[in-house]
Structure 1
């Protein structure tokens, strides 16, 4: 029987990741899309309908005024924290895990945050899959258990082929999705403007006016979507190099498709609150289900035989658009973590299937029924991670200049764990989760998301100052004379041949091997013996 040598494992991993540069820097030679195409592809992933359910739940519980303020508070926080992350992903062509490694967490420390992001992808896959299954049940009479299975399996062929297939899907389905979603809502507002004023005065189950606790509880649910920036960056890493010729479109595309996704999400959440109020009497408890919301509008101006199929088509298109992104991003983050920890690369398709299996179990367990409770808890973890990374980029890199400005993600160049980000993340997450469960009293319980933001943003620079930045870089020289970035900070496109896998890679993705020669970032990741890893220096 043939022996599986480390070299064979490395070669297999390299070949399988070259379709869309999984786990590594995306080279300039692969990034052929215009900024606008990358942005359209990235925004295609926000077609999901969970926003309508989230907004509906917040609106029905706390009233319209509290819901709108909560949505705006969450959107502002998500935008501010997402901007530096999106910039780094687009500018340096790396995903959020690679950014996290060099932004305060270390080579293995970011595995913690990979678990958070991986959990985000299957929680939201389950949420969106449940919505699609509801649509199939209403429109086609498909039992929910079978609908869950269908929604899981339908995305597999699309996800396997990576960025090329996903970009085509997102671009071509967007016009129809916009028509089916925006048209009916515009019609409703035009023919029944009084419904808007009635909705604005709706007090919710608690029947009170503006209330800080209600706003914070609602914002906590909406803030669970903070990790969505990771999925946006999975597309933004394919942005072309920023030049004088494309600088305007590059910035617009990066901002709109990066943190700008939250403005579209906030509009959908507010719309979901409105639609739930509009159909509340007819739909009852189902008013938070998007398929019921859109059927309620379609039935105003279309016969039932047409309203139901259109609502189902909208739900299916929306959920496929987002769930291919959930499955794709989930497979990347789980593969990344597994490969780093075990030095083995099982193939991304393994984690596509594993992620989908977990999502299917959550759907069958009816996670949708207690969605807001799950999201409220999860939000604290997502906030702690994203805010710690954002604080490291904004404060430690650009203000204090303690953290290295140029991102580093390669094994051997980073310490295993950086206490700056890890301490900030764990402290923020643990304290805010304790607050969420009432450990510090009912009076401060609603403010756990804000506590997570403040703690992460404050502790990150404090830890950087306390440690004097000693744990950011294990080495400052990667053994290759040519710099990784040019004078403008753009990744250098010079090609180098990896001596292990014999494939060509651009400068940011390679470093010297301790055995001599050049090795690519993935081959050094899968080096089980550690013989290629450079010593500290």
Structure 2
């Protein structure tokens, strides 16, 4: 009997196809025919008359012929079955390949749709950013041109518009960077001990004048006891509250805005309710997307970037909280912030109130400002000199390194992007030459550079982002130089030395020489000239002692002021 061809399923179990079943039936039919022929042949072969040998031969021939026919039939059927099974295999393989191609095409179509949606979102995003940037730039550019035309516009008015436009641009850039940092997971949270009632009072007071100008009542309603101190990131919490309260006032035409706070089980619930234009139900989630303000025509007319709520929700989630919104169009909205604000285990001592810095205790400090933008150096000079610092300026890294060698500053405020030597290279060279004797603070608009030396040994002591918050800069300066600030409310702690007596006219030539040498930083030349002055003009002993004090401290700025202010003439 011919062998049957068996096939197996992908799980290893035998399967029977239609061709296999038909082939089996054909083989059985061939066997039946062969048996019938063999039986007929045996019947004919039974002896019974005189021609028995012929009957036997005929029977044998019939048997051989039937066997040959059955054998040929079986082999032909076996080849047919094999071909049929191979055809079925090819069909199944083609079917599987077609199914795979259809699945791949479907996946490709979905990916293409996602890419097109992302590209469309990117285009909308860039269009929105372009619009938000061009509007304040247009105001700055226009008013700058008007200022160039003498008498066409008030400088005070132009300055106000330019300042507000610059603040708008700075807020836009900072908001975009904030979203980028949050999405990339590079936001670093602080664990500050925050005076919660004082923080809430500050935020509400910040908006009282704005609300009053719009004729809106601003209410602050703490519910029950609020802890005096909580632990959280003060800057982020303040930003969330400012964004929510600013939005409420912006979209409220008349009525009131209420900030209510409840605290229970270490969780604060802050609700900001307004009687504004309201938000459509389909927009309650949409408004938390970047550059989205909802479908309301009134909302589209309000100024702003459209990033506040997006940043607010992101920051709340980073801090472990959540923001929800409920609103009725035409009646008002309520934004609720729930945030875990634990009380510190031990409350800190009394926290000093902020006051304007007027100086610092101790010896006079020298600061070197290195920045290729003259406007930046002017701002920093006007900030630092009135509170007692000697300030030197340089416009590039090479000039800064040379000036540092002459004046030996206590602190260097260093920009990063400069022509020639970069700020990082300048900082590295300063650190190699002077070690920790010079403190280095990087001041740059390139915020991603903050994390450049997170893992390696940094060549700088601190980083301040542009645009510079002057109070934040002073806080950094005080920290790195370990200064004890004097404020407007403090009594003076430094004795003011009596000015030296005026020198006779015979000392003028040495004073002129001292000005020239001090201007170029020639310390040894200054010392030699002072010795000559003391030797040739006996009345100059007191003045020379005062000038030597500044020279010994490498405080040429104070020496120059002493010479230029006419104190010695």
More helix by share: 1
Task: Pick the structure with greater CA Rg.
Answer: 2
- Same fold, TM-score > 0.5, yes or no: no
Higher relative contact order (CA 8 A, sep 6+): 1
